[in-house]
């Protein structure tokens, strides 16, 4: 039994819970320590039922059942077993029509924690065969453990960050006037195949903004399709999924010679980014990164360009099995940085009539400070036409 499950069992014992149940999800991948089933972009359940209210409820075709003591059990259908047959935990396999019976025969006790995936179905069924059972939300048990990456996870993400840097370099060579953002986004996807990335955590976003030409503009740039023109800023937001983990990355460029004020703005944005990375330490609150960036930008005269998200100035998020994990970085966050966390810092400039620019890096918090895992040249901005 792996150490991740042992940590969860300790939590279950402290909470006086008998079982934790996770249907197909990031928590299932984490506790199985197995990435062979690409759940992130798979329609893992095509089965729905009415719960009597007219709503439809997702039905699981596999559930990882972890007791507070003893060995875990993986309940799954024969079809799902074709994808997960290599997993070595004890399995109970049966057709979907028998799935509820398999659950009832397995789940002893009366106190259950259930993850978000298929929560309604699992909660309802537990109460059918055990009306007095207590069912609580169990998603955060896994997510809190996942916030601290182990050596295996760090090694995977480190390599994927290196690969993401390499793809950014290749992409810069096709950024010429006349290319569409759809063509660039498709090229990003094709590059991922070189490492074996057949999926992405989200659709790559490439935005063009022509300086001085736009009257009405969606703040994140053109919607697909659009064509790159000389005198345009170019912003990137993309990542890859590999061996069950993700990257989330961003840089910005300018097609041709940039006006001095725009060139300086990007330099200021990168300076602020590097300053935060250099200064944050384990134990520091996640609240002050945005203020540090804002103060630096204000001194340079670009205060009005800083993009504010919501009322709490969102600055970044954890990254791992899911591309967006908690705790998030913003001005109302109560968490502190801890060694083993991998997160993004992603400040943005929106300067109407001039440019939209963003920077996003993957950061590992170590015992001694922050290490930037994405290292594409921060001075690379103007591109030859």
Across the range 7-16, mean pLDDT stands at 98
Please give the Cα distance from 369 to 274 (Å, whole number). Answer: 13
Check which CATH number belongs to the domain holding 19 and give it. 3.40.350.10
Across the range 281-292, mean pLDDT stands at 92
> Tell me: the pLDDT tens digits for 294-307?
899 999 999 888 88
- Shared-domain flag, residues 215 and 314: yes
What phi, psi does 355 have (nearest 5°)? -170, 160
Question: Percentage of the chain surpassing pLDDT 70?
Answer: 92
Torsion of Cα atoms, 272 then 276 then 278 then 281, to 10°: 170
From 146, 175, 203, give the residue that closes a domain. 146
- Shared-domain flag, residues 127 and 162: no
Please give the Cα distance from 2 to 258 (Å, whole number). Answer: 54
Give residue 43's pLDDT.
47
Coil/strand/helix, residue 229: coil
Coil/strand/helix, residue 189: helix
- Shared-domain flag, residues 189 and 227: yes
> Tell me: the pLDDT tens digits for 22-64?
998 999 999 999 988 777 655 444 455 555 665 666 788 899 9
- Shared-domain flag, residues 332 and 265: yes
The two most distant CA atoms of the chain are separated, in Å, by 71
Give residue 310's pLDDT.
66
- Shared-domain flag, residues 296 and 378: yes
Question: Percentage of the chain surpassing pLDDT 90?
Answer: 78
Does 175 have pLDDT greater than 90? yes
From 146, 172, 195, give the residue that closes a domain. 146
Please give the Cα distance from 171 to 195 (Å, whole number). Answer: 16
Tokens 């002893």 sit on residue = 108
Sign of CA dihedral 371, 375, 377, 382: negative
Contact 174, 228 (CB under 8 A): no
Q: Decide: residue 34, CB within 10 A, 0-12 exposed, 13-18 middle, 19+ buried.
A: middle
Please give the Cα distance from 225 to 220 (Å, whole number). Answer: 14
Is the backbone of residue 196 left (phi > 0), alpha (psi -120 to 50) or beta? left
Secondary-structure percent of the chain, ordered helix, strand, coil, rounded to 5: 35, 25, 40
Contact 229, 322 (CB under 8 A): no
Q: Which domain holds residue 233?
A: 151-383
Closest CA to 32 of 77, 71, 69: 71
pLDDT band at 157 (very low <50, low <70, confident <90, very high): very high
Q: Cis omega before residue 31 (within 30°)?
A: no
Check which CATH number belongs to the domain holding 301 and give it. 3.90.230.10
- Shared-domain flag, residues 202 and 347: yes
Number of folded domains that form the chain:
2
- 189-197 contacts at long range (C-beta below 8 A, 24 or more positions apart): 191/167, 192/167, 192/240, 194/163, 195/160, 195/163, 195/240, 195/242, 196/242, 197/163, 197/240, 197/241, 197/242
- Shared-domain flag, residues 76 and 104: yes
> Tell me: the pLDDT tens digits for 263-275?
999 999 999 999 9
Across the range 234-259, mean pLDDT stands at 97
* pTM attached to this predicted model: 0.94
Lowest mean pLDDT among 3-12, 14-23, 92-101, 320-329: 92-101
Give residue 56's pLDDT.
64
Does 355 have pLDDT greater than 50? yes
Closest CA to 247 of 169, 181, 342, 333: 342
Does 13 have pLDDT greater than 80? yes
- Shared-domain flag, residues 316 and 190: yes
From 90, 125, 146, give the residue that closes a domain. 146
Q: Which residue has the higher pLDDT, 40 or 186?
A: 186
Q: Which residue has the higher pLDDT, 230 or 225?
A: 230
Residue 304 tokens, joined:
């009005």
């Amino acid at each position: 039994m792996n150490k991740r499950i042992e940590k969860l069992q300790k939590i279950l014992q402290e909470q006086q819970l008998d079982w934790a149940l996770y249907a197909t999800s990031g928590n299932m991948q984490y506790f199985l320590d197995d990435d062979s089933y690409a759940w992130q972009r798979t329609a893992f359940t095509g089965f729905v039922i009415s719960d009597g209210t007219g709503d439809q409820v997702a039905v699981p075709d596999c559930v990882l059942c972890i007791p507070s003591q003893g060995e875990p059990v993986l309940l799954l259908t024969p079809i799902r077993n074709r994808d997960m047959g290599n997993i070595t935990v004890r399995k109970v396999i049966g057709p979907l029509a028998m799935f509820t019976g398999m659950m009832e025969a397995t789940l002893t006790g009366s106190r259950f924690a259930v993850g978000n995936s298929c929560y309604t179905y699992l909660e309802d069924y537990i109460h059918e065969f055990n009306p007095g059972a207590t069912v609580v939300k169990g998603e955060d048990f896994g997510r809190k453990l996942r916030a601290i990456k182990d050596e295996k996870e760090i090694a995977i993400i480190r390599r994927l960050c290196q690969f993401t840097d390499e793809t950014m370099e290749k992409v810069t060579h096709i950024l010429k006037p006349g290319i569409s953002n759809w063509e660039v986004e498709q090229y990003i996807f094709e590059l991922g195949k070189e490492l074996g990335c057949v999926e992405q955590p989200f659709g790559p976003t490439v935005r063009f903004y022509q300086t001085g030409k736009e009257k009405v503009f969606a703040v994140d740039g053109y919607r697909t399709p659009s064509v790159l023109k000389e005198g345009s800023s170019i912003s990137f937001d993309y990542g890859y999924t590999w061996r069950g983990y993700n990257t989330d990355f961003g840089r910005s460029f300018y097609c041709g010679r940039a006006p001095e004020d725009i060139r300086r703005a990007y330099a200021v944005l990168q300076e602020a980014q590097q300053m935060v990375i250099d200064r944050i330490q384990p134990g520091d609150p996640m609240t002050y990164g945005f203020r540090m960036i804002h103060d630096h930008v204000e001194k340079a005269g670009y205060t009005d360009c800083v993009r504010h998200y919501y009322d709490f100035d969102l600055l970044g998020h954890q990254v791992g099995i899911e591309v967006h994990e908690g705790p998030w970085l913003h001005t109302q966050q109560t968490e502190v940085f801890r060694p083993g966390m991998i997160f993004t810092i992603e400040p943005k400039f929106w300067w109407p009539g001039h440019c939209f620019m963003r920077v996003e890096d993957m950061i590992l918090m170590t015992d001694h400070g922050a290490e930037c895992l994405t290292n594409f040249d921060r001075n690379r901005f103007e591109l030859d036409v």
